[in-house]
Amino acid sequence: MIEIICIDNDIIVCLKPAGLLSESEGPESLLTLLAEQCGGQVFPVHRLDRGAAGLMVFARNSKAAAGLSRAVQEKRLKKEYFALISGIPAEKEGEMTDFLFKDSRKGKVFAVSRPRKGVREARLTYRVLWHSDEASLVRVALDTGRTHQIRVQFSSRGMPLWGDGKYGSRVKGELALFSCALGFPHPKTGNPMTFEAKPQGAPWDAVQGESYDL
């Protein structure tokens, strides 16, 4: 069963488990499981990497989907994440800006030095909540929503996310990326909706519990 945080006639807010697809249909799709669990069609409006977990919102009808998609385009759908990274950032908080190129043939994204065809700018801000000698817990807010953005921007600085073998991590286990905060205007009423959640279990139990600042 998928954990449902909020549901009405227009939206479903849920906690996506790691390992499920967030947009495609099929037996390993969150869309399929939500449709079976809640009844009726479910429409995706944003994505979350298959290996990541955490908060997502889905529409329950085409009108709500259009409203939420418009909020995404207008940057009124806000998302923040917890990431457990290798190493310690030089600054306790800061901003990262990069040019990212998505290589569809390799299924991978690369940070490149300058704009060219297929390259898009990526921006995020982060804050270090906790660190040990070899790892840090950061809270990340996205200004842009590029494919694998958080993973690539930290990895390109020598700080891959735990469990992210695709981008250089030597730590085995699940990808340490969790969508912890979600905010958007309700597609029907326009009322502000805000949700927060904390991750549990591995790899997050390596971090002191009081470090998760929501």
Active site residues: 49
- d(CA 146, CA 108) in angstroms, rounded, equals 12
Residues forming a β-bridge with 55: 15
Residues forming a β-bridge with 1: none
Instruction: Give the Å distances, CA to CA, from 50 to 21, 28, 111, 206.
Output: 5, 10, 21, 22
Q: How many CA atoms lie within 13 A of 137 on its CB side?
A: 20
91 DSSP 8-state letter: S
Q: Within its chain, how far is the Cα of 156 from the centroid?
A: 18
